[in-house]
Amino acid sequence: MEKATIQCIDCGRAHSPGALYRCECGGLLEVVPNMEYLRENVSCGLFDSRLRLRNPPYGSGVWRFRELVHPFAGDEDIVSRPEGNTNLYRHKKVSSYTVIDDICLKHEGENPTGSFKDRGMTVGMSEAKRLGMKQVACASTGNTSASMAAYASMAGLKPIVFIPDGEIAFGKLSQALAYGAQVIQIKGNFDDAMSLVQESSNALGIYLLNSINPWRVEGQKSIMFELIQQFSWESPDWVIVPAGNLGNTSAFGKALFEMKELGFIEKIPKIAAIQATGANPFYSMWAKKAGELPAVQHPKTIATAIKIGNPVSWKKAMKAIKYTKGLVEEVTDQEIMDAKAMIDASGIGCEPASAASVAGAKKLREKGAIDKKDRVVCIITGNILKDPDATINYHLGRLEHIKSTYGNKPVVIEPNLGSVKKVLSISS
């Protein structure tokens, strides 16, 4: 029995596994699991029993769901740090900020390289190894490159990253350099880097590890599997996710579809994908009910991770939004940075793009789309240390066009107790 097949999302044509990302018709490829195989081989009980295991591969929050993420990877193929097993956080500051009683944050910044990308990367890199590839490449706004560099170096493959020159946060660039990637800075934006990496990979026989690679999407499904397992296989009402290249949105819809088909869940949570107003092609498409994506030529946002004008996976993502009866929203940079300040001040912390989820939750609550009593999960996609410049400049009031609504400035004092007392408002 074939455990899974690879098919074109447009014409349905089947393809054999290999270094292929698009069908001859131009459509994206996806992994289609054999539901009969899955029904016979997996259950919620099986995945719960693996929670006790700490060793590879099942100690990973991705490979715990092995049959659902890569049913034909052998133990010897698997490249894992291990990833996943990220925590859920609740905090009254976040609840009162969004006016949602039951809101929690799933912190994907707790992954080994500090973002959710590690979940797709472990599966994509394992496939690269299985295929015997020697070099791997990606275009990136930073986190994918950090993740790919780490996993490739662990596996002994050569990582090559294409990044927009001067537009990625320093924490991410430093990771790519340190993990040993060949870093190619493109004089252009992420969308230019994405076109060039596709052309270069095809021409030079390099394995492409962007989320256009169907195995990356398979790995990212594990965020939903793990989340629903953390809720004892009961769905929340909403899952809110920052949206850039739309890999996560696509993966979440696919994961929920598969869990519903397998009878793991009754109810399908609604997905809300949140974009930054300056990089909002998916939101525009949704708002205008357009049939095609209206690409944004010059995307602009402080959340550089989602500064993307022409996301590749828009068709898969729209399918996910429609399947879950979800929606797409946009938030301003001001809303993103204020929501980030709230998440940070709760002791949880995140990079700017991640805060789009909480900013989106607040906005959707204000608009009445989300009810005060709904159970809401926001996906926090990246670690606070990824972009310290954005955080510091917000608190010091140095960001152009953004007010430091919840700024927390340091003070400089003379080195004596009197000055300390003054700062702490203690009378002598």
**Residue numbers at the binding site for ligand F0G (CB under 6 A):** 115, 117, 140-144, 211, 242-249, 305-306, 351, 353-354, 381-382
Q: Which amino acid is at 315?
A: K
Q: Which amino acid is at 201?
A: S
Cβ at position 354, least distance to ligand F0G in Å:
5
- Residue 199 or 371 with smaller CB distance to ligand F0G: 199
Cβ at position 275, least distance to ligand F0G in Å:
9
Buried b (16+ CB within 10 A) or exposed e, 357-377: bbbbbbbbbeeebbeeebbbb
Give, in order, the Cα–Cα distances in Å from 352 to each of 102, 157, 170, 386: 23, 31, 13, 9
Structure tokens that stand for 187 in this block: 């004089």
Cβ at position 332, least distance to ligand F0G in Å:
17
Cβ at position 211, least distance to ligand F0G in Å:
6
- Residue 270 or 316 with smaller CB distance to ligand F0G: 316
Using DSSP's 3-state secondary structure scheme, residue 282 falls into helix
The dihedral built from the CA positions of residue 267, 268, 270 and 271, taken in this order, carries a sign that is: positive
Closest to 286 (Cα-Cα) out of 243, 224, 236: 243
Q: What's the rounded Cα separation, in Å, for the pair 404 and 413? A: 22
Using DSSP's 3-state secondary structure scheme, residue 331 falls into strand
Going by DSSP bridges, is the β-strand pair 182-186/207-208 parallel, antiparallel, or unpaired? unpaired
- Residue 240 or 402 with smaller CB distance to ligand F0G: 240
- CA Rg, the chain, in Å? 21
The dihedral built from the CA positions of residue 135, 140, 145 and 151, taken in this order, carries a sign that is: negative
* Phi, psi angle pair for 202, to nearest 5°: -65, -45
Going by DSSP bridges, is the β-strand pair 327-331/88-89 parallel, antiparallel, or unpaired? unpaired
Cβ at position 249, least distance to ligand F0G in Å:
6
Cβ at position 386, least distance to ligand F0G in Å:
7
- Residue 269 or 360 with smaller CB distance to ligand F0G: 360
Cβ at position 62, least distance to ligand F0G in Å:
15
> 342: part of which helix (H) or strand (E)?
helix 333-345
- Residue 73 or 138 with smaller CB distance to ligand F0G: 138
- Residue 33 or 311 with smaller CB distance to ligand F0G: 311
- Residue 23 or 168 with smaller CB distance to ligand F0G: 168
